[in-house]
Chain A
Amino acid sequence: MRGQKVSMLLGCALLCSASLLYLGLSGIDCPPPDHAHRHTWADAHLGSTNQSQASPIYYGEDTPLIFIGGFPRSGTTLMRAMLDAHNAVRCGEETRVIPRLLAMRATWSRSARERVRLDEAGVTDQVLDSAVRAFLLEVIIGHGEPAARLCNKDPFALKSLSYLARIFPQAKFVLMLRDGRATVHSMISRKVTISGFDLTSYRDCLTKWSRAMEGMYSQCQGAPEGSCLPVRYEHLVLHPEEEMRKLLSFLGLPWDPAVLHHEDLIGKAGGVSLSKVERSTDQVVNPVNTDALSKWVGHIPSDVLREMDDIAPMLARLGYDPLANPPDYTRPDPIIAPNNYTLVRPDSPNQNLHPFIFVFLWTVSFVRETRTDGKSDRKGNMHILVMLEMKNPNAQ
């Protein structure tokens, strides 16, 4: 009797370990997504295209992709995590390859000689665009679970925002904006290496941040009407519901309260998939919070603080007071017109005066700057200029 029991137990143990081994080696397919929570991809797609299709379904240039990007450490991961929590959207982790392909494509079109050679070979812009599109689609589609709206987050992909808007005419872009000082502090204090950035110098990083932001922001503004939405990180963490409602309306998506609690869906099917090697993962597992808003205060060297507006002109242009440490993020300053400080709109009667006032005050500031006592009054001048921009609500 005892022997039989022992042998039976042994048999069970063997069976258990065998099945464990088998499951462990072969891998278990994830349980099918909870249908109450997610639309299945096929349903959503068939609904939108109004035709019955046998698989495979071909994605083309009309795919309504969502591209999230901006400067790293500007809340891009938080934004994509919150969108991932939406039942119709899937972004997934950074692909890292997309920005590199886009950069390579940009170099090919920059050289006029190369363009001629490529054209001679039949590799026209149209052929190259089809190839880039095919590459991007394969990466974005294969990168994670199916979803009604596919999305991609690679911060520097938006350095090619205009190009992406051209090859994907139905795409929408979300450009994350953040106070450059906070961004750079995050980069330096967490030692997040970005190629070309000297992590020992706030000055260098702020200068490069400003340049990069100028490029991305001007492309966002130049994008087709209603295709690019800049989102401030500060406003997102201070008023998440308001921002997300605005964003979802911009994207043409219905409201889903899950986006306000992305932390509940981490690692779940249909939810938020996080990368083990990405630098923001440890922060984004927490609910939306305002911890990181002003952590940069007191860490920037004083010489950099003094010359802040010269080092990083995009700060003022994006509505972050370069001399306030910190600015009041709860009262967002309006974003200043990108290309010219003198704004002329033919239908507005006040506009004719504006350039003259600007010139006058600029002359005044110039004179003030060269005071005989040798001291320059740049601070005062800054305030005059900033005030002037802000006074004009018609600024584009």
Chain B
Amino acid sequence: MRVSARRVLTGLLILGGISTLTQFLRFCLPCRQPSQGAGEPVTVLVRDGWRVSSDIPLVFVGGVPRSGTTLMRAMLDAHPAVRCGEETRVVPRILGLKLGWAAEKEGVSTKVLDRAVTAFLLQIIAGHGEPAPLLCNKDPFTLKSAKYLAHLFPNSKFLLMLRDGRAAVYSMISRRVTIGGFDLSSYRDCLAKWSRATQAMLTQCTQVGSKRCLAVRYERLVLHPRSTLQTVLKFLGLPWHEGVLHHEEAIGKPGGVSLSKTERSTDQVMRPVNLDALTRWVGHMPPDVMADMDAIAPMLGRLGYDPKANPPNYGQPDPQFLNNTQRLLRGDFKTPVASLHLNGRPLMSMKGSQTER
């Protein structure tokens, strides 16, 4: 078939027209700035020679305060491959700040802001303690932002500590642990807030997915430490280490458990894992609150803690750890706080250390 010169010319003209139009459009349409390494992981220099990227494996431990979060992180700290360290206090604050910026229309793009938050978090989490193959962070309320953290740190995992709300609330009220938003003069208010917070965190945990978020019950941890920790370590992809069952021996040691003098659970977590705190709340709930329990704190029932049972049957303890509790009740671990030494420094109790929202 003969292709006429005219047709070829027309075809070329058309192509030329299209390309001119495209070039013209290039100037008319808003052009996108070439992203500078937006896909690369955020990397920060923590200390001389130690660089940390946002794609490192990380574990975030959290939950409503007084749910065994410190115990869990102390047991993990006893594992040679993990370092959690104390509550940073600032991690939840920067997350809260970021939440308030979500509505910002202009200024910086979300991508840049996320990178900036990631860089900040990495510096704090890595910088506040010693290096370790698996870095970990324990600030209770961070699990309210689990989904966001999962997005910032693609290789992060989450441990959500759950506990009978009545026990948690009894602990915060009897020990006067100030927590932002919780009215310590009212069991009703605290239980309702506990329920709401637990629900929020559980929702986040579910959204992150079972491969990356594991909910651990405090009761199960203290009744069956070995099997619970086996599950946890398997979830984290870590080999078993017997030291996690004796975290109290690793306190203040290098590569072990570092405790803060000002945290409210320090005096408890210095002792071996025990059942002392399991049912202490019984008899302390006001009767009107007990009557409305299911309405005040619906999460109790949903998590399987019978709102009408005082206390519910949490289960049978492992015999080998029963010994710890018996020794505790005998007074074996009741060392006067003033003479205790942490990291070579004398421990002085400080009042009113507020757990951050």
Q: Which chain A residues have a beta carbon within 8 Å of chain B's beta carbons?
A: 8, 12, 15-16, 19-20, 23-24, 27-31, 55-56, 58, 60, 93-97, 100-101, 104, 108, 114, 116-118, 120-124, 126-128, 130-139, 141-146, 275-277
Asked if A60 and B45 sit within 8 Å, CB to CB, the answer is: yes
Quote the shortest CB–CB distance from A122 to chain B (angstroms).
4
Q: Which residue, of A139, A142, A275, has the highest number of chain B Cβ atoms within 10 A? A: A142
Residues from chain B with a CB closer than 8 A to the CB of A123 are 88-90, 124, 127-128
- Knowing A28-B32, A30-B33, A121-B86, the reply to whether A23 touches B40 (Cβ < 8 A) is no
A residues near B115, Cβ cutoff 8 Å: 138, 142
Please tell me if B38 contacts chain A, counting CB pairs below 8 Å: yes
- Write out the residue numbers on chain A whose beta carbons fall within 8 Å of the beta carbon of B88: 121-123
Flag if A143 contacts B120 (CB, 8 Å).
no
CA distance A13 to B129 in the complex (A): 64
- What would 22 A/B residue contacts be, using CB atoms closer than 8 Å? A19-B18, A23-B25, A27-B31, A28-B25, A28-B31, A56-B37, A56-B43, A94-B107, A95-B107, A101-B97, A117-B260, A120-B260, A120-B263, A121-B87, A122-B129, A123-B127, A127-B123, A127-B124, A128-B124, A130-B127, A138-B112, A142-B38
Name A128's contact: one of B30, B87, B90 (CB within 8 Å): B90
Closest Cβ neighbor of A127 among chain B residues: B127
Residues A96 and B261 in contact, CB atoms below 8 Å apart:
no
B98-106, B244-252, B269-277: which one contacts chain A? B98-106
Considering only residues 55-92 of chain B, those with a C-beta below 8 Å from chain A are: 85-90
Interface of A (DSSP majority class): helix
Given the known A-B contacts A118-B89, A123-B128, A127-B127, are A143 and B34 also in contact in the complex, defined by CB atoms under 8 Å?
A: no
- Asked whether, in the complex, the Cβ of B36 is within 8 Å of the Cβ of A146, the reply is yes
Q: Give the docked Cα–Cα distance between A213 and B34 (Å).
A: 38
Q: How far is the CB of B68 from chain A (nearest CB, A)?
A: 19
Contacts of B10 in A (CB 8 A): 8
Extra 10 A-B pairs, beta carbons < 8 Å, given A24-B29, A120-B86: A12-B17, A30-B33, A93-B107, A104-B93, A117-B353, A120-B260, A123-B90, A138-B118, A142-B115, A142-B116
Q: Give the complex CA separation of A122 and B26 in angstroms.
A: 52
Interface positions, chain B 115-135, Cβ under 8 Å from A, are 115-124, 127-129
Q: Tell me if B258 counts as interface (CB < 8 A to partner A).
A: yes
Min C-beta distance of B114 to chain A, whole Å: 9
Cα A108 to Cα B91 in complex, Å, equals: 13
Q: Please name all residues of chain A whose beta carbon is closer than 8 Å to the beta carbon of B40 when the two chains form the complex.
A: 56
